[in-house]
Amino acid sequence: RKPELTAAVIAILKHTPSYGGHLASQVATLLNDILNHDPHVVHHVHESGIAQAFFDLVQGNIEYMTSDPRREMQGVNPPIVPPVPDLIMAIPNVLSALALTEDGAKALKEANPFPALVSLFYIPEYA
């Protein structure tokens, strides 16, 4: 619950294309471990914006990516999750951990990152 760590985690998640998928996979693993070890932290993760930053990563909702031409062609946000196996395998675990509380499950349902997650499986760069 240190503000410095919270800010660093959010920055990495929001700028994953710059930092790279391997660092993002380490952050996702850290989130998963912390959330599953202490479910009381789930509230803090949602309140601090970490959960939203993670949802944005999965859904391709990154502000500086709005000029991506793929966005116009597809009519949806393209995935920005780097094709790093450890990161892709960590995403479902983090989503599950973010839903450990009733409020967390509601936030996950509202964010609905599942279509974006499933889209990773039919995009050739992720094969």
Mean pLDDT over residues 93-105, rounded? 95
Kindly give, in sequence order, each residue whose CB lies less than 8 Å from that of residue 28, ignoring residues fewer than 6 positions away.
Answer: 54, 87, 90, 91, 93, 94
| 3-52 pLDDT tens trace | 999 999 999 999 998 999 999 999 999 999 999 999 899 999 999 999 99
| 68-88 pLDDT tens trace | 555 454 555 667 789 999 999
What tokens were used for 65?
Answer: 């990516």
What tokens were used for 72?
Answer: 């116009």
Residue 2 or residue 30, greater confidence: 30
DSSP sequence for 27-91: HHHHHHHHHHH-TTHHHHHHHHTHHHHHHHHHHT--GGGTT-HHHHHHSSPPP---S-HHHHHHH
| 40-56 pLDDT tens trace | 999 999 999 999 999 99
- Taking Cα atoms as reference points, which of 114, 87, 104 lies closest to residue 29? 87
